[in-house]
Chains A and B, each alone.
Chain A
Amino acid sequence: MDTSWKAISARATTPLIYLVLTILWEAGTRAFHIPGWILPAPTAIFAMAKEWAPELLYNTYVTVRETIIGFVLALVLSLPLAVIIAFTSTARRLLYPILLGLQSVPKVALAPLVILWLGIGNWPKIVIVVLVCFFPILVNVVAGFEAVPKPMMDLMYSLRASKLAIFRRLRAPIAMPHLFTGCKIAITFAVIGAVIGEFVAAQEGLGYMILVSTAQSQTPLAFAAILLLTFISIALYYAIEFLEKKFVTWHP
């Protein structure tokens, strides 16, 4: 009884803090008569969100679609490349320094160029998402393939294991937690990438909605879109963490 109460109160702490902060926010905006176009009260945001629900929902769908397609494409592109880099020393010597150099390019700065090259459809946004997701996944997976402890390598060598067997039995499982680390970083970047793309040129998506609503001083709507983006980020992050817990059940 006592322990279950403790468990409940421990679980309730964070939501309670959020609730208190929201109430303070509401009270603050009312007490200091802050204009709604500067900082809208939570109730105003909620009312506006309700009014614009269909548009918000549709634009959420657009942004989530760009984010997920871009993320999956980045995964599909970076994994084989990581395998090639881990397998062939030539590729490692030639490709890896270039990739590490490209990683340092601020991808967000490329957004206008991508739009210039690809126009203003869905693809430029997806390409920006791919660009921001690609490197964290690649770098983490390559590091994962190489994180094999020497005694485990000796064990495989002592069995005269082929490169393929070493990969399948040792490198791939060792790299799994690294892959998920990369994915968790990438998915957070992915949402940012999608919004940046929508900022630069778009006719739909939550980023576009923020841009348009702030331009029209509809600040509560912008806040609603920002909150939705935050929820998307959190939800996608936890979805990956959920998969990680399912697939990586071992302790190092």
Chain B
Amino acid sequence: MMGEHPAAIVSSAAGTNAGGSWSSETAAIELFGVTKTFGDGPKATPALGPLDLAIETGSFVSIVGPSGCGKSTLLRLIAGLEKPTGGRLRRYGDELDGPSRKVGIVFQDHVLFPWASVLENVMLPADVLSLPKAAALERAHWLLELTGLKDFAGHKPHMLSGGMKQRAAFCRAVLADPQLLLLDEPFGALDALTREELSLELSRLWQELGRTALLITHDLGEAILLGDRIVIMSDRPGRIRLDMRVDLPRPRDVHTMKDPRFIEIHQIARDLLFTRQRN
């Protein structure tokens, strides 16, 4: 599937796939008794866990939880941007040691560089990782076309709408063809309509790219619409309260939200989120 578009060119030429491809049985991410505490001594506040979680390669997992439950901390741990206080994390079978170039992140607030054009922003990973320029450029243009930003490649971010900025941020995150895509409330700063539009678009893009994805969100509908699985977290310190398979057919669209199964899953998860009993 990947062989047809420029994705394959970048990854093979740059050797980002040098670690070999993983069999589908290997979990992309495994967490064993992971905890995170901020501060120490009497001021220590447990933020997360203990938490066990495994994310299968190629799946889309949505993590939902009330604000302040540590779900963003969980993403930062998986990204390697923070170290766990306790427990172990593995990424593709290897002990996690800091950030990896095989992981792409879409941050809550687009984090585009205001001095660079959209194309330059999207090309940032190619620059930093010294990927072959021509192939990366080809892929950047392909991604911009895919996300409807083709005509804005030369624009500065401030000339773009919120949704377009987030699309550009998505292109940047997947430019180096990461095996794992981490989405930290990517639609958090957008209005409801743009949110829905973008989440459907993301669903389509994810299918096209066929990579493992982890979405952090507080929007249950979004989580179900996008995920193969939804994981519901408790209040701080965040633990897993529900881990549920979303057996809705793909591709999903606006009509998916009217599917009785969607409504059923939504109801179950909602009840759980609202009872707020700690486990």
Contacts and interface: CB of A to CB of B under 8 A. Distances in A.
A149, A157, A248 — most chain B CB neighbours (10 Å)? A157
A251 B108 CA distance: 20
A151, A157, A158, A159 — most chain B CB neighbours (10 Å)? A158
Contacts of A245: none
B115 interface: yes
Given A151-B107, A251-B158, A156 B115 contact: no
Interface of B is mostly: loop
A152 B105 CA distance: 12
A161 interface: yes
A14 to B, nearest CB: 30
A248 to B, nearest CB: 8
B160 interface: no
A252 B157 CA distance: 10
B127 interface: yes
Interface string A153-184: 01111111110010001100100100000000
A5 interface: no
Contacts of B111: 149, 151-152, 154-155
A149 B112 CA distance: 11
Chain B: interface size category: 20 to 34
A250 B158 contact: yes
Contacts of A155: 105, 107, 111, 124
Contact of B81 (A158, A173, A176): A158
A230 to B, nearest CB: 34
B79 A250 contact: no
B87 interface: no
B114 A158 contact: no
Contacts of A149: 111
Contacts of A160: 98-101, 128
B156 interface: yes
A169 B124 contact: yes
Interface in B84-128: 98-101, 103, 105, 107-109, 111, 113-116, 124-125, 127-128
Interface residues of A, number: 22
Contact of B129 (A157, A159, A248, A251): A159
B185 to A, nearest CB: 12
A248 B128 CA distance: 22
A79 to B, nearest CB: 18
B107 A159 contact: no
A156 B128 contact: yes
B76, B98, B100, B124 — most chain A CB neighbours (10 Å)? B124
Given A155-B105, A158-B103, A165 B128 contact: yes
A157 B81 contact: yes
Nearest to B79: A158
Given A155-B105, A158-B103, A159-B125, A173 B79 contact: no
A169 B109 contact: no
A158 B109 contact: no
Contacts of B128: 156, 159-162, 165, 169
Given A151-B107, A157-B99, A169-B124, A176 B79 contact: no
A170 B113 contact: yes
A151 B100 CA distance: 17
A249 B154 CA distance: 13
A165 B131 CA distance: 14
Interface in A84-103: none
Contacts of B98: 160
Contacts of B108: 151
B257 to A, nearest CB: 31
Contacts of A151: 107-109, 111
A250 B127 contact: no
A162 B103 CA distance: 17
Given A157-B81, A160-B98, A161-B128, 9 more contacts: A154-B111, A157-B99, A159-B125, A165-B127, A173-B113, A248-B115, A250-B114, A250-B156, A251-B156
